[in-house]
Amino acid sequence: MPLRDLFQAPTIAQLAQTLEGSTRASRPPLVPGERDGLLSFAQTRLWFLDHLEGAGVAYHIPLAFVLEGRLDIAALHQAFAALIARHEVLRTVYHYEDGNAAPRAVVLTRNLPELEVLDRTHEDIESLAAHEAVIPFRLESEAPIRVRLVRLGTESSLLLITLHHIAADGWSVTLLMQELGELYARALAKAPLTLPAPALTYQDFARWQRDWLKGRTLEEQADYWRARLDGAPALLALPTDRPRPPAQSYKGRSFSFALDGDLLARLKALAMRTNTTLYMVLLTGFAILLSRLSRETDLVIGTPAAGRGMRETEALVGLFVNSLALRIDLSGEPDTQTLLDQVRSITLDALAHQDLPFDLVVEALRPEYDTSHHPLFQAFFCLIDDPAEAAVLSGVKITSLFAETGVAKFDLMLSTMETPEGLHGAFQYATSLFDEGTISCFARYYERVLAGMVGDPSRSVLRLALFDEDGRRALIAKGVGAQVVTGSATALSLIEAQVARDSDAVAVVYAGEELSYGALNSRANRLARRLKGLKVGPESLVGVYLERGHDLVVALLAVWKAGAGYVPLDPGQPRERLGYMLSDSKVSVVLTQSGLLEGLPAGTARVIALDRERLERFADDDLGIRVDPANLAYVIYTSGSTGRPKGAMLS
């Protein structure tokens, strides 16, 4: 039965009518078969990613639990051994031999993973958890699960479980923790450590998936995603703190925040009124936030789907989860109700087509290959359960501990989790792009968006306030400042006014070295007097042939103080272009450094190497030359429609 039927038939009577007229989906049966070593599509993708430098640790599932109470370590040993024996995917390695088309799954019969017990009574448990989470797996020879118990005291321990995603997903974690509790209870009671055996293995599913998803079935699934994502933007342009590097580093951090119980209750009430779910409401809020930050209305957001559409897979541990690309349209100033209706429809449609693995969706769409970002989407959203709630160890209190892995698969991922106190949220972000301060702002904005959705559902979602009144006033004050710029002011007069207000304030920072406003002004005044002695004045031009650094800023300011304009000459440009610009602009003086002289074309201009000048012989007070806002400030050369550069004059 499609999930959509539950929303279209919200009463028991309507649901009964829907079921009465339904027919079973036409899928081949999932039955046990031979052990042929096939990997599922998702497993194959993770295997290849693991062999890319830096990508493997990004696909760890780290679990950390603080255990308080009398723990029977021998019983825990037995329970874990029974768990490993019960699920063969937890003792599977992945071999690849030259000449084979793909890696093969091989089930280990010896050297099986065991519970390792350590004593670390005086160490920081968060550091222990973080270190454990990023120890890499050798998938070709090592089982994809690692379990360590750190004894912190007589009745306190830290349980660290690390899984590789190639063998498990979030649903699997819940199953494993539930079964661990049952097996531990049996070990305490000296009862047989047996549970009803799974009728199937994950390899059965992998073979079934590859047999089913081909030919017409594959094309029908792919057609939906092609139609849905045709023309979607390839990259979400969020405001980053740094330019995007040419390749993903997978380095990241997490920033946690909390929303109180009152807001959570109001969000649930909104979901009830709009025939949606808490997940859909939180996802909609995330879409609004991304749209406001990027100024884009066509968004693609990733989200997980359990991928367990058959009863036979419900009790299996393995990688069934799939990533779905949800395309959300925020154009036309939609209100909260309208956008929630759209998100509900998009989500239900996507879940009805969740069987096509993400890597096959990418293959069907064939986006332009780009190592700098994740394909199809760069933002991800999920609503998760607390894994500690699934674990029950008799006589032991279990509390989840967050383990910082230092990795990020996406530019930005928002994870949310309902707790007794309210809603816990965490942004996992790429540190190559964002600073923590920026992400903390995103968290505050997200809370304001959610509050606005429940406060005024009829208002356009693109007009919901991101700030409270105090925050809005502070931002305006920061942007405007205390001084009002009038039409008669120039950049030079504003800088000189700042020197008078606070000469010790930092004006320029380069390569870790600071230059104050006072020092900048003094150096520029001396250089301006040198230029004035060379008959440089208003409406004349000075060439500036310098690399980035303090001297560049001093030179530009000195040219203005002399009343002239500058022509920027990039040392990275061809000599022929530079020669044409010097000739065309008729500059009388060029400011440079001795190390750049060889790259400067010969010409009639006087060349001044700043590092060879004795500028300290000139006075350092302001020259007092009047510069009008209409005077020439600089000339910038464009490519020109004729192929020859053209100088554009700016005041």
CA–CA distance, 541 with 591 (Å, rounded to integer): 11
Q: What is the pLDDT of residues 212-252, one digit of tens each?
A: 988 998 998 899 999 999 999 999 989 998 888 888 888 89
Conformational region of residue 92, where left means phi above 0, alpha means psi within -120 to 50, and beta covers everything else: beta
Q: Which two tokens stand for residue 126?
A: 């968060």
Cross-strand bridge partners of residue 335: 460
Cross-strand bridge partners of residue 514: 509
Q: What is the pLDDT of residues 7-23, one digit of tens each?
A: 888 889 998 988 887 76
DSSP letter for each residue of 553-617: HHHHHHHHHTT-EEEE--TTS-HHHHHHHHHHHT-SEEEE-GGGGGGSPP-SSEEEEGGG--GGG
DSSP letter for each residue of 507-566: EEEETTEEEEHHHHHHHHHHHHHHHHHTT--TT-EEEE---SSHHHHHHHHHHHHTT-EE
Band of residue 76 on the pLDDT scale cut at 50, 70, 90: very high
Is the pLDDT at 430 greater than 60? The verdict is yes
Given the structure tokens 């969020």, which residue do they identify? 238
Report the amino acid identity of residue 315: A
pLDDT of residue 356: 92
Band of residue 599 on the pLDDT scale cut at 50, 70, 90: confident
Average the pLDDT over each of 37-41, 57-61, 410-414, 449-453 and give the range with the smallest value.
Answer: 57-61
pLDDT of residue 646: 81
Q: What is the pLDDT of residues 103-137, one digit of tens each?
A: 899 999 888 999 999 887 667 888 888 888 889 89
Band of residue 400 on the pLDDT scale cut at 50, 70, 90: confident
CA–CA distance, 414 with 426 (Å, rounded to integer): 6
Q: What is the pLDDT of residues 279-324, one digit of tens each?
A: 999 999 999 999 999 999 999 999 999 998 888 899 999 999 999 9
pLDDT mean over 263-274: 95
Average the pLDDT over each of 108-112, 272-276, 587-591 and give the range with the smallest value.
Answer: 108-112
CA–CA distance, 322 with 105 (Å, rounded to integer): 20
Please, what's the b/e burial string for 436-472 (b: 16 or more CB within 10 A of its CB; e: otherwise)? eebbebbbebbbbbbbbbbeebeeebbebbbeeeeee
pLDDT of residue 81: 94
Given the structure tokens 């499609």, which residue do they identify? 2
Q: Give helix 215-229 / helix 336-352 axis angle, nearest 10°.
A: 160
pLDDT of residue 569: 92
DSSP letter for each residue of 176-210: HHHHHHHHHHHHHTT-----PPPSS-HHHHHHHHH
pLDDT mean over 516-520: 95
Is the pLDDT at 484 greater than 60? The verdict is no
By the 10 Å C-beta count (0-12 exposed, 13-18 middle, 19+ buried), 594 is classed as exposed
Say if residues 485 and 581 touch (Cβ distance below 8 Å).
Answer: no
Calculate what percentage of the chain has a pLDDT beyond 90.
Answer: 57
Judged by DSSP in three states, 650 sits in strand
CA–CA distance, 151 with 121 (Å, rounded to integer): 7
| φ, ψ dihedrals at 517, nearest 5° | -65, -40
Band of residue 327 on the pLDDT scale cut at 50, 70, 90: very high
Is the pLDDT at 649 greater than 60? The verdict is yes
| Three-class HEC string of 464-485 | CCCCCHHHHHHHHHHHHCCCCC
Band of residue 642 on the pLDDT scale cut at 50, 70, 90: low
Is the pLDDT at 482 greater than 70? The verdict is no
Strands 115-119 and 252-260, bridge-based pairing = unpaired
What one-character DSSP code corresponds to residue 38?
P
Contacts of 21 (CB under 8 A, 6+ apart): none
The C-alpha R_g of the chain, in whole angstroms, comes to: 32
Q: What is the pLDDT of residues 174-221, one digit of tens each?
A: 999 999 999 999 999 999 988 888 889 999 999 999 999 889 989 988
Q: E strands of 83-144, at which residues?
A: 92-95, 104-107, 115-119
Percent helix, percent strand, percent coil in the chain, to nearest 5: 40, 20, 40
Please, what's the b/e burial string for 564-574 (b: 16 or more CB within 10 A of its CB; e: otherwise)? bbbbebeeeee
Q: E strands of 227-347, at which residues?
A: 252-260, 298-305, 322-329
Judged by DSSP in three states, 152 sits in strand
pLDDT of residue 604: 78
Q: Is the dihedral of CA 369, 98, 104, 113 positive or negative?
A: negative
Is the pLDDT at 99 greater than 70? The verdict is no
pLDDT mean over 88-116: 87
Is the pLDDT at 25 greater than 70? The verdict is no
Say if residues 104 and 94 touch (Cβ distance below 8 Å).
Answer: yes
Q: Which two tokens stand for residue 594?
A: 């001795």
Is the pLDDT at 485 greater than 80? The verdict is no
What one-character DSSP code corresponds to residue 88?
G
pLDDT of residue 641: 53
pLDDT of residue 262: 94
| φ, ψ dihedrals at 464, nearest 5° | -65, 140
Say if residues 277 and 271 touch (Cβ distance below 8 Å).
Answer: yes
Is the pLDDT at 572 greater than 90? The verdict is no
Q: What is the pLDDT of residues 446-460, one digit of tens each?
A: 999 999 999 888 889
- Give the largest Cα separation in the chain, rounded: 101
Judged by DSSP in three states, 86 sits in helix
Is the pLDDT at 563 greater than 60? The verdict is yes
CA–CA distance, 116 with 185 (Å, rounded to integer): 20
CA distances from 186 to 18, 177, 463 (A): 43, 14, 58
pLDDT of residue 62: 92
pLDDT of residue 481: 52
